[in-house]
């Protein structure tokens, strides 16, 4: 079993050349061994010391995770979401091109006649992962749904007014499946 490796940065002192044999990711300066890159320290049975580069693996959304994404495409029965981040794991970027789908039956409680009445292209949505295989998302629930949207006519920011969104610039009114967190930023 592998122990949790100590994480070092370039220049960190690791030991002396009397104690260890140099492996990769380290350098020797007058008998002292230092890390030459950021990573985890590994010491083999034969006392070879090296630093294994630390590679951040992008977080994979898990069932029940809440994700923030942008509506990229709207089809007859579903919306395609490009996922930007997973809540609670915001510091790590998700792999580019991670796409989820919101099926028409998972948009909200109650009957939805058209996906276009609930979402629009480029809306920012907060959604919950309900199936990791196909990355199916749901926006059922008060806190889920659209949290940011722009006016289809003038591209101005839409403000929430009760159950609809209105454009302050051109006064257009648009319908959405709105999250109660609409307009509060990426909460």
Residues that bind Zn ion (CB under 5 A): 151, 153-154, 156, 167, 169-170, 172
Minimum Å gap between C-beta 166 and Zn ion is 9
Minimum Å gap between C-beta 86 and Zn ion is 32
Minimum Å gap between C-beta 125 and Zn ion is 20
- Output 75 or 153, the one with its CB closest to Zn ion: 153
Pairing of strands 164-167, 173-175: antiparallel
User: In angstroms, how far is CA 7 from the centroid of its own chain?
Assistant: 24
- Output 86 or 151, the one with its CB closest to Zn ion: 151
- Output 89 or 172, the one with its CB closest to Zn ion: 172
Query: What is 96-140 written as a DSSP string?
Result: TT-EEEEEGGGSSSS--S-GGGT--TT-EEEEEEEETTTTEEE--
């Amino acid at each position: 079993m592998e122990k949790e490796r100590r994480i070092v940065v370039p220049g960190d002192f690791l030991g002396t050349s009397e104690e260890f044999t140099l492996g990769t990711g380290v350098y020797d300066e007058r008998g002292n061994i230092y890390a030459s890159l950021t990573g985890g320290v590994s010491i083999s049975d034969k006392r070879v010391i090296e630093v294994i580069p630390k590679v951040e693996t992008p977080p994979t959304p898990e069932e029940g995770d809440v994700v923030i994404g942008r509506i990229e495409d709207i089809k007859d029965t579903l919306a395609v979401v490009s996922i930007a981040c997973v809540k609670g794991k915001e510091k790590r970027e998700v792999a580019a091109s991670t796409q989820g789908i919101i099926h028409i039956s998972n948009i909200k409680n109650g009957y939805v006649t058209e996906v276009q009445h609930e979402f629009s292209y480029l809306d920012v949505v907060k959604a919950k992962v309900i199936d990791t295989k196909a990355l199916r998302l749901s926006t059922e629930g008060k806190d889920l749904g659209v949290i940011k949207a722009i006016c289809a006519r003038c591209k101005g920011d839409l403000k929430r007014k009760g159950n609809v969104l209105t454009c302050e610039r051109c006064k257009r009114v648009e319908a959405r499946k709105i999250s109660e967190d609409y307009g509060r930023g990426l909460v």
